[in-house]
Amino acid sequence: MAAGPAQALTATGGVEQRPRHVAIIMDGNGRWATERGWPRLVGHRRGAERVKQIVRACPDLGVNWLTIYAFSTENWKRSTEEVLGLMKIFRRYIEREAEGMSAEGVRMRFIGGRERLDPKLRALMSSIEARTAGNTRLNLTVAINYGGRDELTRAAGRLAQKIARGELAEAGEDDLAGCLDTAGQPDPDLVIRTSGETRTSNFLPWQAAYAEYEFTPTMWPDFTPEHLGTILERFGMRERRFGGA
């Protein structure tokens, strides 16, 4: 079951809603670089540095869970050079940041199909998941080779196997949610997409069914903790009724 947003008293004594779980579609890295006459991979490297800043800012902003969309199942359609460069950036980022994140109390997990990823990258992912499993200051989930439809298809397969084994007589929403990559994690309260695009791009379709959305024109390499703080403040002014009157 999804946990609700955190609450804090405002200066006037009212209750301000703060999202406990924020999910971000980190868009615009390639365009940011192209606009400056640089190779697209320069933008992706700058975007990876931005991730580090946002991760460090989240706990102080009241965010306990952060999910970021790093590489989608559709991103394989990009040029071989860009895909290989992105995978190299992911691997270096994980290697370089693992110890620092662990020391800062960040638990890191990955969602998405892993079979297509390089074995060395998969090993690094498993290693950091194990090393940070006991951390509680921030839960960081990175979506790599992730697509919402792919996740739902894989989850339906797992659910069918449970029914075939006689573990379930019939399946409900909670049973399917328990077969998702995000099983046991709270649903996002807020989904942010940078760069001005207003699509959800197959990101967390099940989990974000009742999330608030914010689309910002800011490119991801320019998206600062101050930008995030402003969006969180706007979230606090929204009335969330979840279908109620």
Annotated ligand binding at 21? The verdict is: no
Q: Is 46 annotated as a binding residue?
A: no
Angstrom distances, CA of residue 178 to CA of 138, 207, 225: 22, 12, 32
Q: Taking the C-alpha atoms of 187, 189, 193 and 197 in order, what is their torsion angle to the nearest 10 degrees?
A: 100
Provide DSSP, 178-224: TTSTTTTSPPPSEEEE-TT----TTSSTTTTTT-EEEE-SS-GGG--
∠68-72-73 over CA atoms, to 5°? Answer: 150
State the residue for tokens 């975007």. Answer: 47
| Annotated binding residue 200 | yes
Does 28 count as an annotated binding residue? yes
> Is position 132 annotated in a ligand binding site?
no
Q: Tokens 């101050």, residue?
A: 226
62 is in an annotated binding site: no
Q: Which of 27, 181, 187, 189 is catalytic?
A: 27
User: How long, in residues, is the chain?
Assistant: 245
User: Is 189 flagged in the annotation as binding?
Assistant: no
Q: Report whether 79 belongs to an annotated binding site.
A: no
Q: Which residues is 6 bridged to in the sheet?
A: 18
Place of tokens 């969006």: 231
Q: Is 115 annotated as a binding residue?
A: no
Q: Which residues contact 182 (CB under 8 A, 6 or more apart)?
A: 67, 111, 141, 204, 207
Q: Is 202 designated active site?
A: no
Strand duo 106-111 + 190-193: pairing: unpaired
- Active-site position among 75, 118, 135, 150: 75
47 marked as part of a ligand binding site: no
Q: How many CA atoms lie within 13 A of 110 on its CB side?
A: 24
Instruction: Tell whether residue 196 is among the known ligand binding residues.
Output: no
Do the annotations mark residue 64 as ligand-binding?
A: no
199 annotated as belonging to a binding site for a ligand:
yes
127 is in an annotated binding site: no
Residue ranges of the annotated binding site are 27-32, 40, 44, 72-74, 76, 78, 193, 199-201, 212
Residue ranges of the annotated binding site for Mg(2+) are 27, 212
Residue ranges of the annotated binding site for substrate are 28-32, 40, 44, 72-74, 76, 78, 193, 199-201
- What amino acid positions are annotated as catalytic residues? 27, 75
